[in-house]
Amino acid sequence: MIFFSADHHFGHTNIIKYCNRPYQSVEEMDADYIRRWNACVTKNDTVYYLGDLAWRDVDILRLLDKLNFQILHWVPGNHDSPGNIYKVQWGCIRVLPCRQQIVEIQPVYNSQLVSIVLCHYPITDWVGIKRGVLHLHGHSHGTVTGPAGSLDVGVDKFPDLITLDEVLDRLRDAC
């Protein structure tokens, strides 16, 4: 199965108040998000992560070892430290090399290719917007409504991650 998410900010104490998250501590938040991630993602699944995974002082390898996935495709966000990104460029974790942090993927859904532009940031126009190419992003923590065909997949909107099927159901009219 394919999942999308962004903006967990593991280890970031101040994100609790910035985003009005229902936690008393960063430890409580991190534990709950790990539990929620693993409740839906298995070790056979693929996750496209659209930035701001963890605060700079988090032991990224230890964190990733706690999360279920077979392959993690990571589009870095503005809070992903270069040190953490450098540490994970191996094996089943793929930091997506991209021009200006924009990547296009084409997963297969019901035997058809679906074109999706991934970026940490919400964008208002992209190649193929009028031809059914979709856009998924994070960064805005559920506060930005973009044009038809775009969706904020961040944890503040979808705390249990969102599947490709759910994305396509929500954006069906734009396809």
Tokens 């099927």 map to which residue? 165
CATH code for residues 2-174:
3.60.21.10
What mean pLDDT do residues 97-115 have?
65
Which pLDDT does position 44 carry in this prediction?
A: 96
Band (pLDDT 50/70/90 cuts) for residue 165 is: very high
Interior CA angle at 63 toward 58 and 69, to 5°?
145
What is the mean predicted confidence (pLDDT) over 48-68?
92
**Backbone torsions φ then ψ of 74, nearest 5 degrees:** -115, 115
**Mean pLDDT for the stretch of residues 142-159:** 94
DSSP 109-133: ETTEE--EEEESS--S--TTGGGT-
pLDDT in the model for residue 108: 66
pTM of the predicted structure, to 2 decimals: 0.90
**Residue 47 · residue 69 · CB < 8 Å:** yes
